[in-house]
Structure 1
Amino acid sequence: AYTLKNRGYQAEAIHGDYSQAQRERVMEKFKSKKINILVATDVAARGLDISDVTHVINFSIPQNPESYVHRIGRTGRAGKSGVAITLVTPREYERLRQIEKLTKSKLKKEAPPEIGELLEIKKDAFVKSLVETLEKEKKLIKELSPYFDDKLKKFNLSELLSASFILKEGLSGQSESLKEDKGVYKRLFITLGSKDGVSAKDIFKSLIDKAELTGEDIGKITIKDKFTFVEVKEKVAEKVIGLLEQIVVKGKEGKIMRAKK
Structure 2
Amino acid sequence: MILEAFKELGLSDRTLDALAAKGFETPSPIQRLTIPVMLQNRNDIIAQAQTGTGKTAAFGLPIVELLEPRAKQVQALILAPTRELAIQVNDEIQSFRKGDLRVTPIYGGAAMNEQLRRLRAGVDIVVGTPGRILDHLRRGTLDLSSLRWLVLDEADEMLNMGFIDDVDEILSYAPDERRIFLFSATMPDRIAGLSRKYMRDIEVLRVENKQVTADLTDQIYFEVRESDKFDALTRIIDVENDFYGIVFCRTKVAVDQLVNNLLERGYAAEGLHGDVSQSQREKILRKFKKRHSNILVATDVAARGIDVSNLTHVINYSLPQDPESYVHRIGRTGRAGNEGTAITFISPAENRQFMFLQRQVKAEIRKETLPTGHDIVEMKKLKIKDELAEIVENETYADYDEIARELLAELDPEVALAALMRLAFKNELDESNYPEIRRIDVNRRGTSRLFIGLGKSSGYRPKLIVELLARECGIPQQKIDDVKCMDDFSFATIPFQDAEAAMKKLNSLRELAQDDRPLAKLAKESEKQSDRNPNGVRDSGRNYRRGPRDSYQRRGGSQDYSKRRDHTRRKY
Which TM-score band applies after superposition, normalised by the shorter structure? 0.5 to 0.7
- The letter of the residue matching 1:28 is R
Whole-angstrom CA distance in 2 between matches of 1:126 and 1:156: 17
Partner of 1:187: none
Deviation readout 1:37-81 (Å, 9 max, x if unpaired)? 323233432321222223211111122332212111212235654
Q: How does 1:14-29 map to 2 (within 5 A)?
A: 14-16=271-273, 17-29=275-287
Give the C-alpha shift of residue 119 in structure 1: 2.0
Q: Does 1:39 align with 2:310?
A: no
Partner of 1:141: 400
Q: Percent identity?
A: 35
Partner of 1:132: 390
Partner of 1:186: none
Partner of 2:516: none
- The letter of the residue matching 2:290 is S
Whole-angstrom CA distance in 1 between matches of 2:370 and 2:546: 23
Whole-angstrom CA distance in 2 between matches of 1:100 and 1:176: 31
Whole-angstrom CA distance in 2 between matches of 1:147 and 1:63: 61
Give the structure-1-normalised TM-score: 0.59
Q: Which of 461, 482, 485 lines up with 1:195 in the alignment?
A: 461
Q: Which of 395, 399, 419 lines up with 1:160 in the alignment?
A: 419
Whole-angstrom CA distance in 1 between matches of 2:366 and 2:317: 16
Matched residue SS, 1:13: strand
Gap change, CA 1:80 and 1:123, over 3 Å in 2 = closer
Whole-angstrom CA distance in 2 between matches of 1:2 and 1:147: 42
Matched residue SS, 2:379: helix
Gap change, CA 1:177 and 1:232, over 3 Å in 2 = farther
Give the C-alpha shift of residue 116 in structure 1: 1.9
Whole-angstrom CA distance in 2 between matches of 1:40 and 1:152: 50
Whole-angstrom CA distance in 2 between matches of 1:3 and 1:133: 33
Deviation readout 1:86-133 (Å, 9 max, x if unpaired)? 111233221122111221223111121222222211221122223334
Matched residue SS, 1:119: helix
CA contact (8 A) 2:288 2:295 kept: yes
Gap change, CA 1:7 and 1:177, over 3 Å in 2 = closer
Partner of 1:169: 428
Matched residue SS, 1:87: strand
Q: Which of 356, 361, 366 lines up with 1:103 in the alignment?
A: 361
- Pick which of 113-122 and 77-86 moved more: 77-86
- The letter of the residue matching 1:226 is R
CA contact (8 A) 1:57 1:84 kept: yes
Whole-angstrom CA distance in 2 between matches of 1:20 and 1:151: 58
Q: Which of 28, 44, 67 lines up with 2:325 in the alignment?
A: 67
- The letter of the residue matching 1:160 is A
Q: Which of 70, 74, 84 lines up with 2:342 in the alignment?
A: 84
Matched residue SS, 2:342: strand
Partner of 1:215: none
Whole-angstrom CA distance in 2 between matches of 1:84 and 1:176: 23
Give the structure-2-normalised TM-score: 0.30
Gap change, CA 1:204 and 1:147, over 3 Å in 2 = farther
Deviation readout 1:157-195 (Å, 9 max, x if unpaired)? 4642662475162849x38958xx9xxxxxxxxxx9993
CA contact (8 A) 1:7 1:169 kept: no
CA contact (8 A) 1:7 1:170 kept: no
CA contact (8 A) 1:195 1:225 kept: no
Q: Which of 202, 207, 227 lines up with 2:543 in the alignment?
A: 227
Q: Does 1:113 align with 2:386?
A: no
Whole-angstrom CA distance in 1 between matches of 2:262 and 2:409: 34
Partner of 1:218: none
Give the C-alpha shift of residue 21 in structure 1: 2.8
Quick check: which has more Rg, 1 or 2? 2
CA contact (8 A) 2:334 2:340 kept: yes
Q: Which of 374, 381, 400 lines up with 1:123 in the alignment?
A: 381
Whole-angstrom CA distance in 1 between matches of 2:425 and 2:417: 12
Whole-angstrom CA distance in 2 between matches of 1:32 and 1:176: 30
Whole-angstrom CA distance in 2 between matches of 1:65 and 1:123: 39
- The letter of the residue matching 2:318 is S
Partner of 2:270: 13
Whole-angstrom CA distance in 2 between matches of 1:49 and 1:162: 39
- The letter of the residue matching 1:13 is E
CA contact (8 A) 1:54 1:82 kept: yes
**Which 5+ residue runs of structure 1 have no aligned equivalent?**
182-191, 211-222, 234-261
Whole-angstrom CA distance in 1 between matches of 2:284 and 2:382: 30
Instruction: Supply the RMSD in Å over aligned alpha carbons.
Output: 4.2
